[in-house]
Structure 1
Amino acid sequence: MSDKPPSMQSLIAFEATARLGSMTAAAEEERTTQPAISQRIRALEELLGLPLFDRQGSRLNLTTQGERFYREIAPNLKGIREACEQLTHHGNRPSPSIVIAAGSGFTHLWLLPRLPALKRAFPDFTFKLAPIDRVDDPEMQAADIAIRFGPYVPQDKGRLVASEAVFPICSPDYAKERGLSAVLTASDLPHLSLLHQDIKDPRWLDWAQWCRHAGLGLTPGDDVFAYRNYALLLNAALAHQGVALGWSILVEDYLASGQLVALGPQVTREDYGYWLSVKHHRSTVIEPISDWLINAVRR
């Protein structure tokens, strides 16, 4: 036998002919001609130095060596063929798209920075982030995964992502300039610029509500500047313009980097937090992604 390996064409021609019992049938399957199949098999026999088919009579039968050779190569060729078909099918199929809806603050401050890691963990999917602040928005209801802030709602069958924890935050420079200690007191508030998000949503604490929950016994005065969204409010705090209320999961990266500092006291409300619910329960596609998001928060 020659040291040169047989060509794939010759192996395929032999396998198809042996399986179908006819060079003509093999030619139809491989979309070529019967003489081409015959030529490829002849080349394989010459390379191996032995006949693979008994060509006596009208039927085409495998020789003993041909039968053994067929049993050896047929499973391997089948495996190669199936692998190619799966790869082609997968390559032509668009990646499944997963829509994750959450409040704009959570989307921009927590989800977006972690989107690259999510894509690395699930490379076969594409992800669309939908920043939606109203829980009754139809897009929130239609999302594959929805992360809502507020009290626990039993009918949503939500899983707790993070409990509510709210505390004052400001830049280190602002804290130093105003001489703020680790915990704010009622006497501190009248001398601070309080940054407030201008939303009419009872789920979120404003400064007046936070003061009541913190037991400070003082409602802030008129020096309350309102911002349209939470990202703008944080930018103002980063720019040393005042003190904002920080939800721990939204500001954790800024605290870790030292760009913002946390002040006390911390306020929590029973059953309030971020809740994750899915459109299709027990989905083998969605559940691993949901688990990844919850574990990422807890890490």
Structure 2
Amino acid sequence: MIHSSEFGALRAFAAVAEHRSFTRAAEQLGVSSSALSQLIRGLEERLGIRLLHRTTRSVSLTEAGAALLGDVVPAIDSLADALEQARTAARRPVGTVRLHSFHAAADRFVVPILPKLTRNFPDITLDLTIDDTVVDLVGSGYDAGIRIGEVIERDMVAVRLGGDIRQLAVAAPAYLAEHGMPQTPKDLLQHRCIRWRWPGQPGPYAWEFFEEDRWFSVAVEGPLITSSRTVMMDAALAGVGIAFLKEESVIGAFARGELVPLLADWSVPFPGYYLCYPQQRQMAPALRAVIDAIRAGATD
């Protein structure tokens, strides 16, 4: 459709000059011959000069028209190329995707897919921030995030990755031999506990347990506070105190007899990690490629 704009008029002029015919040019542009004639006449009036010689049998360029055509055609071709490149980019996965992920989620769902992702989509740059802080994904400029379900913002699309998570209190046999084994969660208040500071939160995380259809928390005390779950594990293995860790991370230590599970009856699974991103009508192909890769990897 031809609009009453300079570009539309110049494009129409170039078509008439190429075909030397209003009829054939109108067919190419999908307009009527009369509409095309009016568009050219309007361009000539705005420029104050005749561009075409018209007879009942032929159309030819004036000297001014030939000069204008020589300048216009390269510009139109260049603009057409730019528009086609934009259309191609809109279909091809290319660009930077900013992803925010909790540490454990990145190890489990992102790192394993990197070889295949980078091989299949060489024009995508994954800008990955690994941090347990609960950030405003949209406000912080992230395209997507991976986090546990309880801290996902409203109005976000949330896709579940993997199964449930279970956290367990654990301790080394040497610690239990010296300090005894807690029988209930409240007994932890009498023990030396290794506490985790959730980044971005004002105080250490209160350990959560489940009893009689409800969750409750225990604000434990102890000699060490850390934001590193690796340090928590190492400290527990060294007998510093009781730690609260994801079951999947300590199964090997249980098998080797290095750690002992505690209070298992009060520790129940809860929904695990989700891939979340803002609702959007048109998703960039690069973001779609990353999301699809993470989802596929989570089911492998």
What's the TM-score, normalizing by structure 1?
0.47
What's the TM-score, normalizing by structure 2?
0.47
